[in-house]
Structure 1
Amino acid sequence: MVQLQEIVDEHFQEGQAGPEEDDADYTDTDSEISEESEYDPSDETLAERLYALRDMVPPQTRGYIANTVSTAGNAVKSVLSFSGKTLWVISSSALLLGIPWALAWAEEQQMLEMEKEMKMREMGGDLLTAGTGSSEGSTAQQVGAALGQEAKPAL
């Protein structure tokens, strides 16, 4: 039968190279931080505090949150881009089509006013040359009849 025998390596019997076994040099890091630390929490910004909390959230949740924020950011970017393009199309269409139409309409209104003024001058001249002895009535009534309106006295 085979018999197993443990052989102890001399390397494991020797002491490890490094600091002495003196406990005076040993310090507890927790007590050192709490007692002798120069850390001032009032110097910390909100962003630094939130960044320090990232390890409290599991990686899957952090990934979900990051994907959700990225998707929302892309959606906002797309909406703003589409809105800007739409605004550009509307404003350029208004400039190219609306302004010439408005100018033509204003010119047409001006022409109508000029024609109306010419008719009134023509009628005024006819009234003056016809004299005051006409049996048709007062001048205001004659002007109103020519324009298709009924003359009303001013109050």
Structure 2
Amino acid sequence: MVKVEIVEEKDQDLGNSPYASTSSSRTSSSVSLSSVGSELDGEETFYERITALVDIVPPTVRTKISSRLSSTASFVKAGGKVVGNIVWIVTTSALLVGLPLALSLEDEAKIVAQEQEMLAQQQGAQQMLAPSMYPPSPGANPVQIQQKGIVPPGF
């Protein structure tokens, strides 16, 4: 709560204030306002200093800067939206078209590999059943040689 108190000029100590009403302090240039306000300079932030520069820049220049910044921001926003939409379209298309295509190509590769394996097994079985180019050894029985090749490889 604020307490308001009326202070009479007679009660004030006129020697301590730079605004005192004595004739010597009014005409003296030794007391300045900069010595009184020096405490506030240390507490001023960088942002406050930048905002104080607004008064230095003329209004027409401020308007130009503001309009350029707003147009640049709107351009960046629109560009970001377009790029985001393009990325969305590409990723969803890749998922909807590319993933099933990749899975079907993988299945087809498996089928081709199985067919090649079956052909290799059939060729191996035919080679086992075919008569040998080499004559049987002199002590071997011809019936035993033919029964060896009945089971195809891989079983």
Per the normalisation by structure 2, the TM-score is 0.64
Alignment deviations for residues 8-35 of structure 1 (CA, whole Å, 9 cap, x no partner): xxxxxxxxxxx9xx9428768x922x11
Alpha-carbon distance, 1:134 to partner: 6.6
Q: How does 1:28-43 map to 2 (within 5 A)?
A: 31-32=32-33, 34-37=34-37, 38-41=39-42, 43=43
Is 1:24 the counterpart of 2:50? The answer is no
Alpha-carbon distance, 1:36 to partner: 1.9
- Is there any run of 5+ residues in structure 1 with no aligned partner, and where? 1-18, 136-155
Would you tell me which structure has more helix in proportion to its own residues?
1
Q: Residue 139 of structure 2 corresponds to which residue in structure 1? A: none
Does 1 or 2 have the higher relative contact order (CA < 8 Å, sep 6+)? 2
Give, as a single letter, the amino acid of the residue that structure 2 aligns with 1:94.
A
Q: How does 1:107-118 map to 2 (within 5 A)?
A: 107-118=107-118
Question: Distance between the aligned counterparts of 2:40 and 2:73, measured in 1?
Answer: 36
Q: Residue 56 of structure 1 corresponds to which residue in structure 2? A: 56
Give, as a single letter, the amino acid of the residue that structure 2 aligns with 1:133.
M
Alignment deviations for residues 78-129 of structure 1 (CA, whole Å, 9 cap, x no partner): 0111111110000000000000000111111111111111100000111111
- Is there any run of 5+ residues in structure 2 with no aligned partner, and where? 1-8, 10-19, 136-155
Q: Percent same amino acid among aligned pairs?
A: 31
Is 1:126 the counterpart of 2:118? The answer is no
Per the normalisation by structure 1, the TM-score is 0.64
Q: How does 1:22-101 map to 2 (within 5 A)?
A: 23-24=21-22, 31-32=32-33, 34-37=34-37, 38-41=39-42, 43-101=43-101
How many residue pairs get aligned? The number is 112
